[in-house]
Amino acid sequence: MRYPIQLSCWLRPRQRQFGWTRNTSVVTDGTKPKPLAAIPGPSGLSALPYIGLMFELKPFTNYDVKKLSELFEKYREQYGPLVKIRAGKDWLVCVYDPDDIAAVFRTESRHPYRGVTPLAKTYDRRKGVRPGLVTLKGDEWYALRSPTQKAMMRPKAMTKYAYRISQIADEFVAKFERRDRLDNLPDQLMEYTAEGVGMLCFNTRLGCITETNNSSELMEQTKTYLELFGESTYRLPLYTVFRTPMYRRFERAADFLSQVCENYIDDALTKVNNTTNFHDATVQNPEIQSWNTKQSFDADVQNTQHPTNVNTTDMEDSLLFDLLSTPGMTPDMTRRILVDVFVAGIDSTANAMTFLFYFLAKHQDKQRKLYQELLDVIPKDGKITEDVIKKLSYLKACVKESLRLVFPICAGTARILDLDIVLKGYKVPKGTTLVLCNGIICREERYFPQQDQFLPERWIRGDIRTDVNPFAHLPFGFGPRKCIGQRVAELEIYICTAKMFMTYRFKLPPGVDEIPYKYCTFATPREKTTFMLERRVTTWHS
């Protein structure tokens, strides 16, 4: 089936900054919608509150909690395009049709809500801290999201960071000049992404790129945080009552990351206050003047590296400056935004790059085609600017195809609507969690012919491309609650991939053909990954 309708046509007419005319899909043949209880899905023990999902996983079945995408695929095959499953005390409705996903997005409010895990709420409650972008909803969420959206999601917002990220990528690529392999991934790529997100948030070099292959405390704690955050969604939430061993591990990781961020924020804030162009009204804000995060850290945090090489002359080129320059933004609001951006930005991008490198190393013909594009487009001085990135169409197609084959999150994003909606003839009451299963749709033959093949050409007009339903592939989500870090993540991926493959030919180690992966909030390899490197004799076209 072909989908000639473009994305903009699906959502007209738009209204205000976000959103469009809200529409609850209705049954048009005069029949009464069937109730939620009639939606097919697992029954019996699997439908019990809190423990039902446990009976769908090991040891009762062969399905692993860290690869739930396989279980969601089974649901699609067994029950159809709309499936009801038990998670916690409530029902989840899994949506497997792109047209229905479009209907959900048309129905969501101006301030969409996707729910929050009890783990995050429990941590915030016990620590007495206010929630951040990930967990907030309503007007309070919008108060944080709106200024962040302006700073990070506008088409030109990331232009000022391209040169600095390019410098970081050069340093990362040079690390392997005397090596014949790139190993311990995604951890080594986390060195690059941590430097990039540090530059974005604080205009600060964190000193993460080192000559060793060892993982830093920052990276280990980031992985622990995200792994436990993801697993908690499907655990019996005993941690809401007791400080279980799992909760204590999560708490230690969250405390570490929060305090490290506070350290960087405090140092960068001092530099911002010394910037001549910083808004006088903001500088004189008593909340900013009284903000003091120099508290005693525990032994682990005291041993971490403190911020270095902060550029005091152009602190304006940082997300911190952009946020604090926004009327109404307080240091507390800024802190909550930066912690979320910093933690999520390190892990997810490094994992996405690992899988991209794998597909290119496995498919040498695609790697040769990418290398030829890089030769044709990248100037002799090696600088990758916004104008250069616009011309790298095959690189962008490779990224898109990699994100299709290994979807960044388990099934897809979620939404909790404030209106009833009718999908496939069933009435889904407001307040029900809808899981929009783009990660499963991306592997369906009906939407992506030769679905198991790495075919970047499917995304390029004039090649083998066929029209794709615009709601079939949404790796960063959609609408006002889409991934806030999409543009910086893409920028980091494009620049580092271009420089790495311009310099080295990637090959898989002998005997390696696949990279098994799991979901720890984001898709990540089950084992450390290695690629063989062969230095190229680079020649540019004149």
Annotation: binding site for heme: 483
Residues belonging to the binding site are 483
β-pair partners for 533: 506
Q: What are phi and psi of 175, to 5 degrees?
A: -60, -25
Cβ atoms < 10 Å from Cβ of 378: 21
CA trace torsion 149, 357, 405, 350 (10° rounding): -40
Closest CA to 428 of 105, 117, 104: 104
Residue 437 and residue 96 in contact, taking contact as beta carbons nearer than 8 Å: yes
Cis peptide before 59 (omega within 30 of 0): yes
Residue 276 and residue 315 in contact, taking contact as beta carbons nearer than 8 Å: no
Q: What sign results for the dihedral spanned by CA atoms 337, 191, 310, 225?
A: positive
Residue 347 CA to residue 339 CA, distance in Å, equals 13
* DSSP, res 240: G
- For residue 243, give the 3-state DSSP assignment: coil
Residue 110 and residue 19 in contact, taking contact as beta carbons nearer than 8 Å: yes
Residue 73 CA to residue 407 CA, distance in Å, equals 13
Q: What are phi and psi of 256, to 5 degrees?
A: -60, -50
* 3-state secondary structure labels for all residues of 419-465: CCEEECCEEECCCCEEEECHHHHCCCCCCCCCCCCCCHHHHCCCCCC
Q: How many residues does the chain have?
A: 542
Angle at Cα 112 formed by Cα 5 and Cα 18, nearest 5°? 55
How many alpha carbons lie under 13 Å from residue 343 in its C-beta half-sphere? 29
Query: Residue 505 burial (CB < 10 Å; 0-12/13-18/19+)?
Result: middle
Residue 295 CA to residue 327 CA, distance in Å, equals 27
Beta strand 421-423 with 426-428 is: antiparallel
Helices vs. strands in the chain: H and E counts, helices first: 19, 11
